Homo-oligomer: A and B are copies of this chain.
């Protein structure tokens, strides 16, 4: 199964306008995740849903803009935003136009750089995942590419009741129809599961 899980604003942005090295989630974007990190905003049900994140995933696909700020040739000292032990625990295939050696990180995460496009990354992720799920990790343009390719089986939105505004990284570009699978609302976030 191919799926994604993202925190979104009311205007369906997963990052605010003005993304930069200092503000990788753009203006206001960190607030999308406040309920994850501030336990006082979290209900037991939020915690249980958050604990499901990444479970059953055997491989991921990520856009270069989520792995690094900037474009062009690689700064080989850059190994992602997440430190030596990224929160994935599975091989992540990073879409890029610039070849680079794979990176083996701690905790089971590895980054593999794919220059042949989304379909090639998906083929490699399928091989790595075996019977486990593939997670389209992000960002928005990679998720939209997966949606446009019609390969996404399920997705989960953690909706925060904020508007990030014009210039944010928006999901959902092409007309489509999904099914509501489950909705769980808490004071600070609404969790919504959909299937294709």
Contact = CB atoms under 8 A, between A and B. Distances in A.
Contacts of A23: none
Give the interface SS of chain A, mostly helix, strand, loop or mixed.
loop
Given A11-B12, A163-B176, A175-B165, A190 B192 contact: yes
Interface residues of A, number: 34
Interface in A26-41: 27-28, 31
A192 B187 CA distance: 12
Interface in A164-191: 164-166, 170-180, 182-183, 185-190
For A11, A174, A178, A188, the residue with the greatest tally of chain B CB atoms inside 10 Å of its CB is A11
Contacts of A176: 162-163
A161 B183 contact: no
A132 interface: no
A187 B16 CA distance: 31
A10 interface: yes
Contact of A187 (B175, B180, B187, B189): B180
A194 interface: yes
Contacts of A166: 173-174
B185 A180 contact: yes
Nearest to A28: B175
Interface in A8-54: 10-12, 16, 27-28, 31
Given A11-B171, A161-B180, A164-B175, 10 more contacts: A10-B12, A10-B172, A11-B170, A11-B173, A165-B172, A165-B173, A165-B174, A180-B185, A183-B190, A185-B192
26 contacts: A10-B194, A11-B12, A11-B173, A12-B12, A16-B175, A28-B175, A31-B177, A161-B194, A162-B175, A162-B176, A162-B178, A163-B175, A163-B178, A165-B173, A165-B174, A165-B175, A166-B173, A166-B174, A179-B187, A180-B189, A180-B190, A182-B185, A183-B183, A183-B185, A185-B192, A190-B192
